[in-house]
Structure 1
């Protein structure tokens, strides 16, 4: 890194703040701040949603997993299997009600349908898990950047956190979405340039493939199902296709449809149709982006195979440092700055949306319910104050929790234990009229308890993706059983999907849903034939 590289990095960071100053003009109330006045373009929301999934960890971990990690390879693509199907579910069952009720927090729906305690419970779970998880994510991105940029870890954590917090606080959801669009553009260009330079160094695509073990090119693992047949001591870690397909459907339906950090953007477009366009875009675009990471892994892995001296530069031999080391050692100045800007962009796009959604849930689900501001201006100022508070907390969490591997793992698993029961709560709300608040809370407790038993009792023998399905099914079953004895009373009919006028108009969307299902089938076929599709020589 030379003066040119550092100057370009500084300009990138400064441009995000300047952009927020422009986008933050004209904010009058919380709707403007948290959902962009419900006037953001579908393409921006779609790209922003995808950018949030494309964290800095994805940029460095996926290529390293594909090329160098023991037991790694193209099985990472299995993560994408259920995305198109989950998008169809969300568009049919959840979005029509959320948009009709004109809410800011998705947990507000739960109060309308069940009551205040259900809303408070799930909002509190979101705040705790997302707050801690965001701090851990900030640390994970910062530790890699600190090593490759040769900066103290505390400088990177504070710098990354503060710059993101500044533009997030000033610009609100508009700044989140439009900065994510810019950051995604930088990321795609960065990936493309890295692939071009790597293939040039290694001698082309065929030469890169020659350096990859054939076992790494297998994308679908059908040898196990992940329900008790996994061997924790196996030399090659299993990635069961059925676990990713079934468990992944429940995970993505819950994450995209019921998690405030994702659903908040879906409430910021002008109409239900525009929100559906954004999710259709995501249903098609996530796989190509992940494929780009895979190609990057094969290309850069080829460079490391042909230049063994590069392996010695990996920090503690960790595969996650493969891409950063490649950039530092082999790319020209200026391009280095662009790639590291892409890394920063990936980190910031995940951080900004999490902080904004934490602030939104705090204000909407707690503060405004019990101490509503007297006017819109005060409401806006309190919202920005909440964003600042959460930004500072996330930075503190990064320092306190980031270096403790056991804590990080447990935080991630606790989040996974709740995704299925949370989805079950919303499904019961929109589709099962008999289920009331007592039944659904009992279901949540039962679903989480089952996942904890799987975690402690089965350990690594049960693939963690199955937790999402188990938690959801158990939660729904318990809620239904209790509702037979104590059915819900005085249900707001507007909270049931089948009473929504949009339900009768779903037929016009069938072609789009059919395309997504067809894309899923094509994905399944392509991933099953991945070795032969890649090796076209």
Structure 2
């Protein structure tokens, strides 16, 4: 695929996004309300469908197909836990957040504990979201750098700046209202890429739909359940991991919940969450099926499997499936990456404006909100450039994993707020929420020495949350 084709695809794609931005933007004093809440007018089925693309992200788009050689379909055990987590979100968190019409979900912490607790929750969200969004966009930028920018000797920093500028241009006016519609478009491209690739492989290998299903079901890579309790992919461990990680990283994450809160009622938001959970599960089945077929195709054509599983799908799509499939794949990876980055940028802006600046509607609020939006855009740019300067994938990946420790305090804060009636010393909440992940990290690092060879998996999230709850109990007021 030539650089000319790549730039045409990118140009047309963003032209479409800009068109949506113009149609969904609001002018005047209500602009901030539209940016933050979409005026509570989003259709629940559009939100549900669009959230698939934002949740899958560019990392999952590439990684899930590649992981089947090593883990089979064991990832579905985790997804089953996701389904349980979404039930908790639908019937516990959605009613909680809709009861007082919160714009930022961390307003609940202000209502329950105080201003410092609200700011602490928002701070931990912003830290994890900034690193997470930068990491995902960094991977997508690397693909575009190789596919296009390098051919014209454009430095990586310049290409990242252009990408973030484009995202800023189509989100700064309409905010979450624009995101709801662009997510719908981007989910379509993402799923289209997977389905079209499956069709291409089936055609090349002479497989009918029924024989394709048979090939997938009979493959050793399609094993789902693991009942070995010593294994890190033991069924019950994966099920609980999927449940609690979903509650923490989706239910207590402004990025995801802001979209749910754009529905006009609690009932519609619940329908959105439950239908999204089903569509997301089925989408994962599609990507796992694609993974099996990618390995079958490589084996049939004696193609050398890349050392890194994440490189399998891009390698085959860009070099072996033809120009049209390469274009569809490029659209898919762009859609997956940017649907995560644009919604993260909007959520970061919303949380900072609401939880720290306490902005409301009005012309002055619109000006400040736009400045905050620019600030977070520049912050994402700096973090991505730093990732590139480090030039060590394992270090960057470790930073991304470390950001996951911030969800423990969030889970602990909300759990303590929901399931206890105690008040806390609001001034000390930040200290508790800093100590909990630090202690969790130490326990995780030295778990072999401390616990007779035991190694933590997802349980470290629960340990982190438990330490936060314990700390909150210590600073509770009698």
| TM-score, scaled relative to structure 1 | 0.79
Q: Is it true that 1:12 corresponds to 2:13 in the alignment?
A: yes
Q: Is it true that 1:432 corresponds to 2:432 in the alignment?
A: no
- Is residue 421–residue 447 contact of structure 1 (8 Å, CA) maintained in 2? yes
Query: 1:446: how far off?
Result: 5.8
CA distance in 1: counterparts of 2:77 and 2:313, whole angstroms: 22
Alignment counterpart, residue 60 of structure 1, candidates 59, 62, 69? 62
- Is residue 48–residue 177 contact of structure 1 (8 Å, CA) maintained in 2? yes
| 1:332 to 1:461, Cα distance in 2 relative to 1, 3 A | same
- Is residue 207–residue 302 contact of structure 1 (8 Å, CA) maintained in 2? no
**Partner of residue 39, structure 2:** 37
Query: 1:440: how far off?
Result: 6.1
**Partner of residue 411, structure 2:** 423
The SS at the match of 2:446 is helix
Query: 1:148: how far off?
Result: 4.3
Query: 1:107: how far off?
Result: 1.2
The SS at the match of 1:343 is helix
**Partner of residue 461, structure 2:** 468
Question: For each residue in 1:28-50, what CA deviation from the matched residue of structure 2 results, as whole angstroms up to 9, or x when unmatched?
Answer: 24221111111111112212322
Question: For each residue in 1:113-145, what CA deviation from the matched residue of structure 2 results, as whole angstroms up to 9, or x when unmatched?
Answer: 101111121211221221122112211222233
CA distance in 2: counterparts of 1:336 and 1:446, whole angstroms: 47
Q: Is it true that 1:455 corresponds to 2:436 in the alignment?
A: no
| 1:221 to 1:154, Cα distance in 2 relative to 1, 3 A | farther
CA distance in 1: counterparts of 2:214 and 2:393, whole angstroms: 34
Q: Is it true that 1:291 corresponds to 2:285 in the alignment?
A: yes
- Is residue 66–residue 311 contact of structure 2 (8 Å, CA) maintained in 1? yes
**Partner of residue 401, structure 2:** 413
Query: 1:74: how far off?
Result: 1.8
Question: For each residue in 1:21-68, what CA deviation from the matched residue of structure 2 results, as whole angstroms up to 9, or x when unmatched?
Answer: 22113462422111111111111221232221111121111112224x
Query: 1:101: how far off?
Result: 1.5
The SS at the match of 1:82 is helix
**Partner of residue 259, structure 1:** 253
Q: Which shows bigger deviation, 349-358 or 253-262?
A: 253-262
CA distance in 2: counterparts of 1:26 and 1:56, whole angstroms: 32
The SS at the match of 1:224 is coil
CA distance in 2: counterparts of 1:417 and 1:464, whole angstroms: 12
Alpha-carbon RMSD across the aligned residues, in angstroms, is: 2.7
- Report the number of matched residues: 463
Q: Describe how 1:503-522 pairs up with structure 2 within 5 A.
A: none
**Partner of residue 180, structure 1:** 183
CA distance in 1: counterparts of 2:39 and 2:157, whole angstroms: 36
Query: 1:288: how far off?
Result: 0.7
Q: Describe how 1:159-178 pairs up with structure 2 within 5 A.
A: 159-178=162-181
Gaps of 5+ in 1: 227-237, 488-537
Q: Describe how 1:325-404 pairs up with structure 2 within 5 A.
A: 325-368=315-358, 376-402=362-388, 403-404=391-392
Alignment counterpart, residue 300 of structure 1, candidates 294, 299, 302? 294
| 1:291 to 1:148, Cα distance in 2 relative to 1, 3 A | farther
Query: 1:352: how far off?
Result: 0.5
The SS at the match of 1:308 is coil
- Is residue 68–residue 221 contact of structure 2 (8 Å, CA) maintained in 1? yes
| 1:366 to 1:150, Cα distance in 2 relative to 1, 3 A | closer
CA distance in 1: counterparts of 2:348 and 2:300, whole angstroms: 46
**Partner of residue 115, structure 1:** 114
| 1:90 to 1:443, Cα distance in 2 relative to 1, 3 A | farther
The SS at the match of 1:55 is helix
Query: 1:90: how far off?
Result: 1.9
| 1:454 to 1:10, Cα distance in 2 relative to 1, 3 A | same
Query: 1:262: how far off?
Result: 1.2
Q: Is it true that 1:126 corresponds to 2:140 in the alignment?
A: no
Query: 1:435: how far off?
Result: 4.0
Question: For each residue in 1:424-482, what CA deviation from the matched residue of structure 2 results, as whole angstroms up to 9, or x when unmatched?
Answer: 21122123112424586676456424422332212695243111222223433454466
Q: Is it true that 1:222 corresponds to 2:227 in the alignment?
A: yes
